[in-house]
A and B are shown apart, each in its own frame.
Chain A
Amino acid sequence: MLEIKNLHVSVKDKPILKGLTLSVDAGEVHAIMGPNGSGKSTLAHVLAGREGYEITDGSITYDGKNLLAMEADERARDGVFLGFQYPVEIPGVSGMTFLRAALNAVLTHRGEKTIDAIDFLKLVREKAKLLEMDDAMLKRAVNVGFSGGEKKRNEMVQMAVLDPRLAILDETDSGLDIDALRVVSAGINALRSPDRAMVLITHYQRLLDYVVPDKVHVLVNGRIQESGGKELAEKLEREGYAAFGVSEAA
């Protein structure tokens, strides 16, 4: 479903990704682990189509299409979802209005009927329940006044409502206490499906105790240095990234 080949990306002329290659099939959950500054978030943003990243070489193919030729909103309508590390606050825009507009854009793109306000409310309630989130919060301005954990849950509610085929979750576990981590993980697990691919980008292994990945990749210095199964994450947890020439202050 997702084929990244020899991806080189620079930010303000500084190379960040230096030949990243990755292949993710439908139904799979991949974890990309790496230390700070390894290029994890750059990868997430490039996949979601954020401006300010210069692709100097390589390709990204999504479902046989050139993903890099698509605008951020086109990608989203076509089933790509990025769970933000830092979800954005949007004062004045109600969460319900925003999410319904998003879902209707996605449904229209799929050639399906748009959803009316009543059915939408039902759908949101159901998904919010999954993430143990009070749906009243979604009536408030998007992410405004939300705690770190609430913002991350809100991302997962959005994912559940939009029903993407490729989900990239950027540090979804950061800033979560253990209860919130459990809830968010349960939400992610509930969305695992044979039709959906997921890429979890994370610094720590703890999320992977709850969401067990099919494959783990170690991203250091802009490239995948090693790939393996769940045991690779456990090894990283024990030994850190020292084996990849990275010394991290604990």
Chain B
Amino acid sequence: MQKAALVKNPKRMEGENPLADFSALESTLPGHDVGWVKDLRRSAASRFTALGYPSQKVEAWKYTGLSALATQRFTPASAGERVSAAAVAAKVLDGAQLLVFEAGHFRRDLSMLDPVDGVEITTLGEALAAPPDWLEAHMTESASGIEADAPFDSLNLAMMSDGVVVHVGEGREVAPVIQILHLASEAGVAHHVRNIIKADAGSRVTVLESWAGETDGAAWTNAVTEFDIADGAEVRYVKAQEEAAAAFHLGRTKVRLGPNARFDAFVLSAGGRLARSEVLVEHAGEFSKATVNGVYVGHDQQHLDQVTRIDHAVPNATSDQVFKGVLSGKARAAFQGTVIVREDAQKTDARQANHTLLLSRTAEIDTKPELEIYADDVKCAHGATVGELDHVQLHYLKSRGIHEADARAMLVEAFVAELADEIAREDLRDYVLAGIRAAIAKEAAE
């Protein structure tokens, strides 16, 4: 046994300990005087310690090399008022119920919340000071479900500094978008943010999660957002990841769908040097429907990973995923999409597609659409394409006088923006399109 302990585990990677400050910090973290929260944090901390950083030998991390992240020491971010009003204004969606966070901490002064009947919108910090029963039940169950290949979910649970908690009551609707805007403002720090959104039966809510910030060095975002969507409730979700160029971003969105529930998601991945966005959907109720679309735009040496796992546990559910990306320079991206259709999940309708445009010879995409089907009466389709810009189209645009760079940007935008067009709300669609255009412009300026 002694000997075995000395053998290096090929599935983990050595690195700095992101829990180094855990003991010192514990008594200041949200919910520190609530017994079950403390227990959750501690067991999550030991889970991460046991797992460590996953190496690329772990299938889920096959395309995500973490050495640059693991070897850097990040301290827990402290609360501060460093971001400018202009930086906030640039990313705010007009008319939104706005919750602004700076470096993992709530900025009440920059936020704008209007009370809505039957809807609670608060911060994790406040919610954990006197947690409602549902939150305890949700968090306890969620913690027990964290997979062995998801160490950063556990790390987040141990270290979470703040986030948003939303509870939309039965049949209630939040008309404006709830925007969770996070701005990094300091290099060398880690932000562990956890958002929890519970939509009761028949309710409707739209959530925009925006990640931005300009820092000179690297900051690390380790975020988890959870949705519990009950019978017939509808949730629309946009994640706009536009972190600073040097940032690390590991984000996870976990969704549980009840019967007839609906989840429409769009994930834009544009910022960061290393960014990974995971979307995990559990179809726990029949006739539930999930659409998960995404666009990634990478340039320079960016590494952008999209991971999805759609789990059909019950019959008659529908899921549809399309991810499209554009890569230039030496950018790399991966799409790892899994659809699981369990034995009982008859009449499942699941689709999955990934299309990538490579604008340079040095850009690279790893695409791995995967179906695991255990039921026999299902409709499933998946596919992937990789291509370059259409030269005939490019020539046609140029033949009308449009400069080459503009013509390229037009075609690139057309390729990815088609998915943004599916976003039903015009304000959100415009927000996403602006993000896509800004990312393409960076690409063109390279």
Binding site for B on A (CB under 8 A): 48-51, 71-73, 76-77, 81-82, 84, 87-88, 90-93, 97-99, 101-103, 105-106, 109, 141-142, 158, 162
> Which of B393, B402, B414, B417 is packed against the most chain A CB atoms within 10 Å?
B402
| Complex interface: chain B residues within 8 A of A103 (CB) | 401
B397 contacts A by Cβ under 8 Å: yes
Q: Does B136 contact A (CB under 8 A)?
A: no
- CB of A119, distance to nearest CB on chain B (Å): 18
| Stretch in B46-54, B76-84, B404-412 touching the partner | B404-412
Q: How far is the CA of A181 from the CA of B207 in the complex (A)?
A: 53
Contacting pair A88 B414 (CB below 8 A): no
- Interface of chain B, main secondary structure: helix
Contact for A105 among B391, B402, B414, CB less than 8 A: B402
- The reply to whether the CB of B379 lies closer than 8 angstroms to some CB of chain A is no
Whether A105 touches B406, Cβ cut-off 8 Å, given contacts A51-B391, A88-B392, A91-B418, is: yes
Could you tell me if A101 and B404 are in contact, using CB atoms closer than 8 angstroms?
A: no
Instruction: Answer whether A73 and B398 are a contact pair too, CB < 8 Å, given A93-B410, A101-B410.
Output: yes
Chain B residues lying within 8 Å of A88, measured Cβ to Cβ, are 392-393, 395-396
Looking at the complex, which one of A93, A106, A142 makes contact with B401 (CB distance below 8 Å)?
A106
Instruction: Please determine whether B418 and A84 come into contact, CB atoms closer than 8 angstroms.
Output: no
B413 to chain A, nearest CB (A): 7
| From A72, A97, A99, contact of B395 by CB (8 A) | A72
Contacts of A82 in B (CB 8 A): 399
CB distance from B441 to the nearest CB of A (A): 15
Query: B400 within 8 Å of A by Cβ?
Result: yes
Contacts of B395 in A (CB 8 A): 50-51, 72, 88
- Given A72-B398, A73-B401, 18 more pairs with CB closer than 8 A: A48-B399, A50-B395, A51-B391, A73-B398, A73-B402, A73-B407, A76-B402, A88-B392, A90-B396, A90-B397, A90-B411, A91-B418, A92-B414, A102-B400, A103-B401, A105-B402, A105-B403, A105-B406
Q: A72-B398, A88-B396, A162-B401 are in contact. Are A93 and B411 (CB under 8 A)?
A: yes
B431 at the interface (CB under 8 A from A): no
Contacts of B392 in A (CB 8 A): 88
- In the assembled complex, 26 residue pairs joining A and B whose CB atoms fall closer than 8 Å, in A order, are A49-B399, A50-B399, A51-B395, A72-B395, A72-B398, A73-B398, A73-B402, A73-B407, A76-B399, A76-B402, A82-B399, A88-B393, A90-B396, A90-B397, A92-B411, A92-B415, A92-B417, A93-B413, A97-B410, A98-B400, A99-B400, A101-B410, A102-B400, A102-B402, A106-B401, A162-B401
